[in-house]
Structure 1
Amino acid sequence: MTNNLTKLWATSVRRLLATQTRAARAVMREADRHTKHPQPPWRDAQTGTAPAPGKGAAPAAAASAVAPHQATSRVTPQATPARESRVGPRAAAWAAGEWRRAEHIVPATPQRASRALHHGLYLPANRHTAGMPLVVMLHGCKQSMDTFAEGTRMNLLADRYGFAVVYPEQSEFAHPHQCWQWYDARDEAGGGEAAAVVSLVDALVDEYGFDASRVYLAGLSAGAGLAALLAVRAPGRFAAVALHSGPAFGEARSGVTALDVMRRGLHTDPVELLERHLGDEAHPGMPAIVVQGDDDAVVAPINAEQLTVQFLRLNGLADSDGVRPDVRSRESEREGFVVQDYARRGANVVRLCRVANLDHAWSGGDDAVPFHSAMGPDASAMIWSFFEGHRREAANDAWCVEVAKGAS
């Protein structure tokens, strides 16, 4: 990686060409691998109950007792055991704190009708919520609040470091695969979803007394796409953002063009696209960490490179000539991944983490849950470590007026 943006983009193109040779086959493999979703076990963990041994085999045994001659004529189907996690007991993600499922009603505005936003809120045990940081986690397609919490294991970090976590959940009525519509900024689609997340954050800060200057935003895949939209449109609500396996910002306008961006990256200059959205307004900046698997055939790695360029520009670390001279860039190669940091005045503002051999999955997560992998560094721990160093200034509040009011 180099301080010259032109070389950064050239490197991205080379990576893209290497990725596309295996993209079609990998997409089919991923689709087959992630067809079934495991039942989240958090309810049993909360109550201390577990399925009785042999549950599921009893009906077959009863049938055998009634008609033994039938039992010898065919093989009794056996229940497939749940796949075990390689990073620890899956139920541990729910054991210590309190999990609250709720529905937030987003008030109607002249621009859009009222809507409901389901979410799960995790509160660490034996801690006061006043002044507590809040992490907002936006799941990807074919995920729920339960599977995302279970797979990322962010709640375990919440117990350790004392922050709350909220998991907004996309409705199947809004999208059949529960994808956030990051590519469509209209009020009835992604624009309304972004406004709903802002409304939920405001309501939780008011109700629980969370620290409004330490609200952070993270997303995976389509959730990263919506997080990027929020980072541009509502920077006053969030102190930093994390984008894992997310599409580059600004070019997609429909489901078809969204797929094109995911597979090939942006066709237009990333900085030019960003500046079109900003217009004449000066953005206050949004610290960002971008995490990407090098073998991701769903969202091509070039998207991560382009997102990094866009957030360098968004934070004033780069212009049309490249990275500014006062910005320090450092690349560190570790076992299985490479981290590129861009710092100003000693503080890391933009970080790119590229994970070798990782496909379209959350790095270092619970690989018993679809779209999470035990391979690579613990993305949740890396993201929280980055978040901890950032706090939102009160002056950024002015940037949330339009989104909070529901204007598109």
Structure 2
Amino acid sequence: MKRRAIRFTVAALCFVLAGIGPVCPIPLLQGGNVAFADEPPRRPFPQHVSYAAGTLRPSHRTQAQQDDDLRAAYDRWKSNYLTRTKEGHYRVKIGRGANAPTISEGQGYGMVIVPLMAGHDPEAQTIFDGLWGFFNAHRSPADSRLMAWRVNLQRPDRGDGNSAFDGDADIAYGLLLAESQWGGREGNGINYMEEAKRVLDGILDRTVGPASRLPMLGNWFGPDGAPFNQFTPRPSDFMPAHFRAFGQSTGNPVWGEVVAACQRVVDSFQKNVSPTTGLLPDFAVVEPSGAVRPAPPGFLEKEWDGCYNFNAGRVPWRLGTDALLYGDPVSAAQVKKMADWVLVETAGNPHGIKPGYTLDGSPIASRNYFSTFFAAPFGVAAMVAGQQEWLNAVYDAVRLQEQGYYADTVTLQCLIVMTGNYWTP
């Protein structure tokens, strides 16, 4: 049932509540209007997905305990980073302050998280539709099928209307999840599948290399530009599980080509650049011949752009999720290489995971703290690599932590995977 804002007279409302009128869902009062409760999800949390054969789940806590861990983590995240705008939309803030900006990455994360938690959160569809409404209000001027990368409601001059691949890819995936949960019902105000296809068309047209088939950073340069082009990807944008779902949902075989292109880059790095660690850089340069190298310092963001840093730290989670959901042997082997290295490097102590490494495994200097952002993705990797004690230890190291928007949001998604509650649309 579509959630409407319908103004009732007091008499009419009493008439319904008294049972005199036709039976209908009891509405929720919102500022003088009435909004009907969400449709029940088709795949309510918890789902307890059976992942690929031979993979692991945390074994030291019961399934009920893991579900409770995830509920608590989601509730903390929702309280800290999800907010409703004066227009009635929802957005994910990149900080706890009321005026913290929103970036498309966070909006995409929210649009993936919320449908997966439907069944725990009774407002999930309302929130999801509000997240989509915020997207609609802040599309990229360069291509309205994509989202503006940075939105600062207090200082619009500090926003950025260009797109970012990762945010748009998660937004599209979230729409596919929403279609699985609530789509196709009479009266739904949003056609989630059609909107997903529209976003995916924009991604393919503007941010997938026509020759490389690699994700491009965004829509703010052309495929043959300099220094950014279709051969300068961010490896954390390699989301093979997403790409497989995109192909299945649209019937477009190009997404299989994107998976293969990404896996070739990972393979080349692990064989020729980081054979000991298997680590990937924040940003990469790929020659048309297939040769790869890390981007130079300051390529886009910081001096560590060629290191395993605050972008690439997501890679074990992204590749591991593909191995878990689809049983892909290439993703499994690639993530296992990283998982085997970090287990030895830390001597089995998750708190020994450093917040960033050079590709040869040397910790980035001057950083001496524990970050769940770097630890939680290795928990997903451990599920694939057969590291039961290490998986349990990583799970315990991250499940109760609160460390800020980025770490908390990535960790929450890793917990969704580790608890067996991540599924394909």
In which range does the TM-score fall when normalised by the shorter chain? 0.3 to 0.5
By percentage of residues, which structure has more helix?
2
**TM-score, normalising length: structure 2:** 0.32
